[in-house]
Structure 1
């Protein structure tokens, strides 16, 4: 049986141009013969866990997983009963209730600000950068923040809501460069601590608050990297919150990872180790949630930039590991490496997208003019 399992996996990998114990950077080295049965039994969960446990290795993990995606191998491996139950559970139960959302967010974002400080840019922007004409992570993130501000058409004195404000990067940038008042909300205590420090002496309020608890009017609303945590059962509720809190003449921008297919659950390994109860929405799911109340004014996809962003984070993480390893063990290192590299591969294969949606209420009284700067600098963005 073990030889049969090995033959099945070898044939699958060969079809993707991957060899076992080969010499190319994307070839894998297998150290435990139980690896083959585990992959057939547990799919992506078994692949990630066996990597974390040292059963196999690869010089270029991102390239290996990219080739798996390109060959569409996961559809050739049978689905197990646990996955079927996971899909059924996601359809029946609300996995992103307020109580569960707080617990899930804490499991990822409260694991230590030192990790994210080392891995991210100086503003700690934990979302896709805009890499046009730059190879610098900090510049790419400032490009992205400036692009968002232009798309929102920010004006001095406006009141802006930042849903899922993270460590306060956008709130800081918008308040400092555009003279707006910002209310940032997060349900991560660790994020709130740094956001408060970052935005000190600026017209910024950072609240520990769930988006469903909001009931006040804003000129502009932005959400960067938050919609992936909302869950399909709450998409409509999320849009109703936008509609309730946005002024009739207001503009909202949603920046989020989007999938090509409508799903009700996420990858088993990602769900268990990285983003519990997270969900990558499709454009169909978001469009349905918008209904007749919200109008799509603009859609911009630059998902391939997320590949570059994730690999930059990966390099920062590896470089910082000598300083981080006293706080985290080797199991965590392999887990985080697998997360960053597999995510980069998914964007490289265009299994995932990065969408920026500009939406307004039906009462919006103007023609919205889409923004696509060819070259971005903070000075140019601020001056329009």
Structure 2
């Protein structure tokens, strides 16, 4: 096709989402390089994201533009060989076993604590905040940590396991506010070192360890924003590990992004640049994986809070960018900006959700009273 034909085709598709080429509204797409059209039609979402990274196009309100694209389903119109390969790779390969399990730690979570400090606010908590009674990011993250502790019914003297403990903030909060001791496992060297310093003086142990290697009993087991890296071929193993490590009268909490759609719809741009080997679970996969292992006491969805969380992270990083090392160059900055914008759009359009599942091995005697 000629460039003019591709441009006409692109314009017609964008009109379905009420987006204009080179318009003057915040959600309109301004083209800086006419090669954009061929690249996007050849490579779909991968081409769109890479073109933004390379400065080929802009929008004043990038999250709103991405929301319009997703709400109109234009990503479904741009499925290419890249999309198919990402889907097949996620569906048929176990990308989260052995050394591959540590890849996302090296590629993403070890980027640099300076970057995450600038973005995440007072607490190094890289997951959705709970905004029900909060009007700022720091309070929303504290509310989320407290909600988890209340759902787990933590009491002084108990011992807990944090699978994918990140920088250790959840364990620190639980130890300080609920009097528990705990073990946290992570696959990120940077996170492990930071968490050990953060939790110094508390009854908390941080391990650089695959969760599947843990074989001890705890009063409560939880994971916050880690299940997205487990992979569909390992969901059953994850829940079996939790069951093995959880006392018969204990509770487990799973905090994870979840998808309304069919399993293994991996986005090739996110896979390549942000979270290698990641996979958003579908509800059908989660429920099947925990059958005969747990009673689901509660399945809580507050996915729209992730839009507010991501918007706060984006505001933080934009303000802090001039203070960050020059190793985070302009292409990285555009990559990060695009990542946060697309992620916000996914939740704003209700494509993905944020779930908290509270689980018990045999059912809570007398019933479980759901905290909110």
Give the match's secondary structure for 2:257: strand
- Do residues 298 (structure 1) and 298 (structure 2) align? yes
Partner of 1:378: none
Partner of 1:358: 358
Residues 252 and 360, structure 1, Cα contact 8 Å, conserved in 2: yes
Partner of 2:267: 267
Partner of 1:380: none
Partner of 2:27: 26
TM-score normalized by structure 2? 0.98
The 1:292/1:203 distance shift into structure 2, 3 A limit, reads: same
Q: How well do the aligned residues superpose, as a CA RMSD in angstroms?
A: 1.1
Give the match's secondary structure for 2:318: helix
Residues 254-313 of structure 1 deviation map (CA, whole Å, 9 limit, x = unaligned): 001001013224111000000001000011100010011111110110000000000100
- Could you list the runs of 5+ residues in structure 1 that have no partner in the other structure? 373-384
The Cα of 1:194 is off from its aligned counterpart by: 1.0
Once the two structures are overlaid, the 10-residue window that deviates more, 216-225 or 89-98, is 89-98
Give the match's secondary structure for 1:122: coil
Partner of 2:247: 247
Residues 154 and 178, structure 2, Cα contact 8 Å, conserved in 1: yes
- Between the aligned partners of 1:361 and 1:319, the Cα distance in structure 2 is 46
- Between the aligned partners of 2:351 and 2:196, the Cα distance in structure 1 is 36
Partner of 2:48: 47
- Between the aligned partners of 2:145 and 2:259, the Cα distance in structure 1 is 23
- Could you list the runs of 5+ residues in structure 2 that have no partner in the other structure? none
Residues 255 and 356, structure 1, Cα contact 8 Å, conserved in 2: yes
Alignment of 1:4-15 (within 5 A): 4-15=5-16
Give the match's secondary structure for 1:300: strand
Alignment of 1:146-225 (within 5 A): 146-225=146-225
The Cα of 1:324 is off from its aligned counterpart by: 0.9
- Between the aligned partners of 2:366 and 2:247, the Cα distance in structure 1 is 13
Give the match's secondary structure for 2:272: helix
Partner of 1:131: 131
Partner of 2:346: 346
- Do residues 83 (structure 1) and 83 (structure 2) align? yes
Partner of 1:381: none
- Do residues 60 (structure 1) and 68 (structure 2) align? no
Once the two structures are overlaid, the 10-residue window that deviates more, 354-363 or 83-92, is 83-92
Residues 266 and 277, structure 1, Cα contact 8 Å, conserved in 2: no
Give the match's secondary structure for 1:191: helix
- Between the aligned partners of 1:154 and 1:82, the Cα distance in structure 2 is 46
Partner of 1:113: 113
Partner of 2:39: 38
Once the two structures are overlaid, the 10-residue window that deviates more, 317-326 or 111-120, is 317-326
Residues 321-358 of structure 1 deviation map (CA, whole Å, 9 limit, x = unaligned): 00114231001000000000110011000001000000
Alignment of 1:285-324 (within 5 A): 285-324=285-324
**Structure 1 consecutive aligned stretches of length 4 or more whose deviation exceeds 3 Å:** 363-366
Residues 21 and 31, structure 2, Cα contact 8 Å, conserved in 1: yes
Residues 105 and 188, structure 1, Cα contact 8 Å, conserved in 2: yes
Partner of 2:229: 229
Once the two structures are overlaid, the 10-residue window that deviates more, 35-44 or 256-265, is 256-265
